[in-house]
Amino acid sequence: MRLGAAGFRGGVHPDYHKELTASLAITALPVPAQVVIPLLQHIGAPCEPLVAVGDHVFVGQKIGESKEFVSAPVHASVSGKVAAIGPYRHSMGKAVEAITIVSDGEDKRDPSLQAPPPLEELTPDEIRRLIREAGIVGLGGACFPAHVKLSPPADKPIDLVILNGAECEPYLTADHRLMLERPEDIVFGLKAIMKALGAKTGIIGIENNKLDALRVLRQAVEGSPGIRVVSLPTKYPQGAEKMLIKATTRRIVPSGGLPMDVGVVNHNVGTAVAVAEALKQGKPLYERVVTVTGGGVARPCNLLIRIGTLVKEVLEACGGVKEDAVKLVIGGPMMGLAQPDADIPVVKGTSGITVLTREEMALREAVPCIRCGKCVDVCPMGLVPVTLAQLTEHKLFERAEKMHVMDCIECGCCAYVCPASRPLTQYFRLAKAQVMGRKRK
Amino acid sequence: MNGKFVVSSSPHIRTMDTIPSIMIDVLVALFPAALAAVYFFGYRALITMAISMAAAMIAEAICLRKLNIFGDGSAAVTGLLLAMTLPASAPWWLVVIGAVVAIVIGKQVFGGIGSNIFNPALVGRAFLVASWGGHMAGTVWPAPKLFDFWADIITVATPLNSQEDALKVTLKQLFLGNVAGALGETCALALIIGALWLFYKGRIDWRIPGGYLGTVFIMGALLGGGFYENALKTGLFHVLAGGVLLGALFMATDMVTSPVTPWGRLIFGVGCGVITMLIRLYGAYPEGVTFAILIMNALTPIIDNFTQPKSFGGVKRSA
């Protein structure tokens, strides 16, 4: 099984439906009357609230923080009064502690926020501290605190930073619009990340279905030594970390390893914009670009939304959901999380709000596997989903682990192609959770 | 806006491929061969195919206690594939028994679609060969009668019977199907046209047919005795004669009973080719496709186990 020259093995070509929003410029959603800001919007330790009910807060004021290294503070996204602190349902499924702020309508920015010195004068440590203070996490959806990725151990030198502009997830266009509208900030953010890591090379990888973004960014990186823009074949999951590294550099992240094992740190282009805003203006991460899309939304669009805005209000602003809407997904249709209702806040990791109709989804009942082997053909990780699914069905998790179920990146390609409509990706989530659970014991 | 939505695990979109759509593609792919069968063997071909499909579908519907006779389409495929391997002279009851055995013994007793170890159509055929050797004669088969829909059956020896018989037909005859044999196996052209459809639709990949036909060609050329003008033509004779094309393109590629790994598919195809040629050249039967594929079906799990692909960033492994 030879790997393609500059691509990766497997993958699928779903209907992208990017045309719904690709040509629509980012517009700012009006400041909401109330926001609900979860104290856990990242992978790591949850924040402790820094404010109490009744306190007045400014836009950008830090309202939650943790002492743990793997964590990121949260900031108020409107100015106003703290109305409540308590559990609120989160798009990840569970309810988490959240701070509800009622806006005073003045949208006053925290006067203590100041622009830091220019990038040339900042040390790597200062860059990391500013990024942490700004509450920046991976905006592609993984929500890993950005400063952690910028602090690799001394024995893992980083020579390359890859910005992910693949946006391989169908329907979503938030990154595409950012690349078109904020190319300078993306390049600035990349330079800051490279400086923090001491990396000499930067690559911006963009799928070749976004030719305009490729052109704009190629212009933007002119005159920036060490930085280049790479055109990637359009194939899902091109934006998955390991696939992106393979496709741009031919380096292969070892099984169970991290990009830093091959000298690479990945960040999303949206994260680079947030880094640029933090370092240029001292602006914390309190708003983000979200693609609101799908056949079930009356007016699909790309919106700049304050963190904590309730999804139901976002959908109302987009003309509401249509009669035949069946599914509400936070993120895109391949990896996004389905929600029972829209009473959840937009968080740092919310890259898209996708409302799907029955027609778009092809909801079908699972029937027995006919061993067609399509899942084996498409698995970008080189796994054998058909066998892993059997092992999971029989609760043989140890054997599933031996067959590298922990390598599964949950991209969904196997379940996407399965003619028997088997919930393969769901099986592997279950198997992975079981294996992890046993390890903890 | 507070309406409840459906919640399920991602991905939330799927291809439009379903098991019935795959089965319909196979039926479409078999259509040229079915037409050729009627062209060469007349009304008896039509009746045999109709009886076989009907018996298979009814047997499946009874086993599953479902009224939808077409179901997922797999019984229709099994019925048609079985008919393709039968002589035009087969009496109606033989066809019915073959189809019922194929569905009940070949598939349903294992737990239905997806669970069977052996290709159901070939189980049915093997049962008939073992039980009614006279009807499923190994040496003489119905001869083709062009344009004569109501023709009577005259049986002659197949080209695989002996070198003498082989030299009575040309490669062109074999390619077009104007030779004695089972209903669906004689016309190479029709089988290839049908297989192109399956390739185009992504229902089969090249590894099983490639490994199978390549092996038959090479072994035919090297070990076939070179009784045609030269070794290459002898190799080609072995590819075109008998049931190899039908077997390699439509039987060995049965998804349920063949390996899922890329290397496994290739090994499976090569194994089918080797066993077919060993039976043809050194065995008691003139033809070996049925048993070659059935034997390799039995080896499928172990082949899959030893050909696990290398995982991304990892090493080879076995379960």
DSSP for A75-124, written as a single string: E-SS-EEEEEEEEEE-TTSSEEEEEEEEE-S---B-TT--PPPPGGG--H
pLDDT for res B315: 57
The answer to whether residue A49 is domain-embedded is: no
The answer to whether residue A90 is domain-embedded is: no
Helices (H), chain B: 19-41, 43-64, 74-84, 92-104, 120-131, 163-166, 171-176, 188-200, 207-223, 231-240, 244-246, 262-282, 289-306
Average pLDDT over residues A151-159: 92
- DSSP track, A390-441: HHHHTT-HHHHHHTTGGG-----HHHHH-TT---HHHHHHHHHHHHHHHHH-
The answer to whether residue A222 is domain-embedded is: yes
The answer to whether residue B4 is domain-embedded is: no
**Considering the entire predicted model, what is its pTM?**
0.90
pLDDT for res B137: 61
The answer to whether residue A183 is domain-embedded is: yes
| Least confident among A364-373, B47-56, B279-288 | B279-288
Domain span including residue B78: 19-301
Rounded to the nearest 10 degrees, the angle between the axes of helix B43-64 and helix B19-41 is 150
pLDDT for res A1: 30
pLDDT for res A139: 92
The answer to whether residue B210 is domain-embedded is: yes
Cβ(B272)–Cβ(B290) below 8 Å: no
Cβ(A74)–Cβ(A86) below 8 Å: no
pLDDT for res B162: 77
Report the C-alpha gap between A99 and A364 in whole angstroms: 40
Choice between B318 and A131, residue whose per-residue pLDDT is larger? A131
Q: In this structure, are A276 and A381 located in the same domain?
A: no
Angle, CA of B80, B82 and B84, to the nearest 5°: 70
Cβ(A366)–Cβ(A426) below 8 Å: no
Rama region for B242: left / alpha / beta (φ>0; ψ in -120 to 50; rest): left
- Under the banding of pLDDT at 50, 70 and 90, the label for residue A368 is very high
- Under the banding of pLDDT at 50, 70 and 90, the label for residue B149 is low
> Structurally, how many domains does chain B consist of?
1
Indicate the residue of B16, B74, B310 with minimum beta-carbon distance to A362: B16
B202: closest CA of chain A, how far (Å): 9
The residues facing A206 across adjacent strands are A165, A231
- Under the banding of pLDDT at 50, 70 and 90, the label for residue A6 is low
Cα dihedral A409, A415, A418, A421 in deg (nearest 10):
160
- What lies within 8 Å, CB to CB, of B72 at 6+ separation is A367, B19, B20, B23, B113
Indicate the residue of A9, A246, A328 with minimum beta-carbon distance to B5: A328
- Enumerate the residues of chain A whose CB falls inside 8 A of the CB of residue B1: 312, 315-316, 320-321, 342
Average pLDDT value for chain A: 93
Q: In this predicted model, what pLDDT tens digit does every residue of A99-126 receive, in sequence order?
A: 999 999 999 999 999 999 999 999 999 9
Residue position matching structure tokens 């997904």: A329
- Enumerate the residues of chain A whose CB falls inside 8 A of the CB of residue B17: 374, 417, 419
pLDDT for res A7: 76
The answer to whether residue B5 is domain-embedded is: no
pLDDT for res B245: 96
Q: In this predicted model, what pLDDT tens digit does every residue of A212-255 receive, in sequence order?
A: 999 999 999 999 999 999 999 999 999 999 999 999 998 999 98
The answer to whether residue B269 is domain-embedded is: yes
Residues of B numbered 240-269 whose beta carbons fall under 8 angstroms of chain A's beta carbons: which are they?
255-263, 265
Residue finishing a domain among A281, A300, A320:
A281
Residue A258 tokens, joined: 């991290």
- What lies within 8 Å, CB to CB, of B43 at 6+ separation is B149, B150
Q: Does A429 touch chain B (CB under 8 A)?
A: yes
- Under the banding of pLDDT at 50, 70 and 90, the label for residue B159 is confident
- Under the banding of pLDDT at 50, 70 and 90, the label for residue B240 is very high
pLDDT of residue A29 exceeding 80, the answer is yes
The answer to whether residue A363 is domain-embedded is: no
Report the C-alpha gap between A64 and A87 in whole angstroms: 14
Residue A298 phi/psi, 5-degree rounding, is -65, -45
The answer to whether residue B306 is domain-embedded is: no
The residues facing B41 across adjacent strands are none
Residue finishing a domain among A281, A303, A324:
A281
pLDDT for res B147: 62
Average pLDDT over residues B225-236: 81
Residue A227 tokens, joined: 């930085």
Strand A301-306 to A27-28 pairing: parallel
The 10 Å Cβ neighbour count of residue A249 is 18
pLDDT for res B108: 96
Report the C-alpha gap between B188 and B174 in whole angstroms: 7
How many CA atoms are closer than 13 Å to the CA of B161, on its beta-carbon side? Answer: 18
Rounded to the nearest 10 degrees, the angle between the axes of helix B74-84 and helix B19-41 is 30
Residues of A numbered 82-111 whose beta carbons fall under 8 angstroms of chain B's beta carbons: which are they?
none
pLDDT of residue B317 exceeding 90, the answer is no
Residues of B numbered 204-223 whose beta carbons fall under 8 angstroms of chain A's beta carbons: which are they?
205
pLDDT for res A5: 41
> Structurally, how many domains does chain A consist of?
2
Cα dihedral B276, B279, B280, B282 in deg (nearest 10):
140
Instruction: Provide, rounded to the nearest whole percent, the portion of chain A with pLDDT above 70.
Output: 99
The answer to whether residue B2 is domain-embedded is: no
Cβ(A253)–Cβ(A242) below 8 Å: yes
Report the C-alpha gap between A14 and A10 in whole angstroms: 13
The 10 Å Cβ neighbour count of residue A360 is 24
pLDDT of residue B1 exceeding 50, the answer is no
Domain span including residue A426: 374-440
CB contact under 8 A, A420 and B114: yes
> Which residue, among A376, A381, A391, would best test binding to B if mutated, counting the most B CBs under 10 Å from its CB?
A376
- What lies within 8 Å, CB to CB, of A24 at 6+ separation is A173, A177, A300, A301, A302
Based on its alpha-carbon atoms, the radius of gyration of chain B, rounded to whole angstroms, reads: 20
Residue finishing a domain among A233, A262, A281:
A281
Here the CATH number for the domain that contains residue A131 is 3.40.50.11540
pLDDT of residue A263 exceeding 60, the answer is yes
Q: Does B68 touch chain A (CB under 8 A)?
A: no
The answer to whether residue B309 is domain-embedded is: no
In chain B, the residue whose alpha carbon lies closest to the alpha carbon of A252 is: B313
Average pLDDT over residues A57-70: 95
- Enumerate the residues of chain A whose CB falls inside 8 A of the CB of residue B4: 340-341
- Cα A113–chain centre separation: 26
- Under the banding of pLDDT at 50, 70 and 90, the label for residue A290 is very high
Q: Is B269 exposed, middle or buried, given 0-12, 13-18 or 19+ CB atoms closer than 10 A? A: buried
Residue A425 tokens, joined: 């990706």
Q: In this predicted model, what pLDDT tens digit does every residue of B37-74 receive, in sequence order?
A: 999 888 899 999 999 999 999 999 999 998 888 999 99
3-state secondary structure of A173: coil
Instruction: Provide, rounded to the nearest whole percent, the portion of chain B with pLDDT above 70.
Output: 93
The 10 Å Cβ neighbour count of residue A212 is 13
Report the C-alpha gap between B144 and B120 in whole angstroms: 27
Q: Residue B53: name the closest of B17, B87, B91, B83 by CA.
A: B83
- DSSP track, A357-390: EHHHHT-----------HHHHH-TT---HHHHHH
pLDDT of residue B214 exceeding 90, the answer is yes
For residues B152-186, one letter each, b for 16 or more C-beta atoms within 10 angstroms of the residue's C-beta and e for the rest, the string is eeeebbbbbbeeebbeebebeebbbbbbbbbbbbb
- Under the banding of pLDDT at 50, 70 and 90, the label for residue A2 is very low
- DSSP track, B122-167: HHHHHHHHHH-TTTT-SSEEEPP-TT-TTPPP-EEE-TTS-HHHHT
CB contact under 8 A, B311 and A404: yes
CB contact under 8 A, A255 and B260: no
pLDDT for res B148: 66
Residue A124 tokens, joined: 């790597």
Cβ(A354)–Cβ(A342) below 8 Å: no
pLDDT for res B146: 65
- What lies within 8 Å, CB to CB, of B65 at 6+ separation is none
Here the CATH number for the domain that contains residue B269 is 1.10.3430
Report the C-alpha gap between A438 and A419 in whole angstroms: 33
Residue B226 tokens, joined: 């070179």
The answer to whether residue A121 is domain-embedded is: yes
Average pLDDT over residues A384-407: 94
pLDDT of residue A4 exceeding 80, the answer is no
Q: Does B312 touch chain A (CB under 8 A)?
A: yes
- Cα B239–chain centre separation: 14
The answer to whether residue A71 is domain-embedded is: no
CB contact under 8 A, A356 and B310: no
pLDDT for res B138: 56
ipTM for this model: 0.88
Q: In this structure, are A262 and A387 located in the same domain?
A: no
- Under the banding of pLDDT at 50, 70 and 90, the label for residue A3 is very low
pLDDT for res B319: 42
Q: In this predicted model, what pLDDT tens digit does every residue of B187-200 receive, in sequence order?
A: 999 999 999 999 99
**What is the amino acid identity at position B308?**
Q
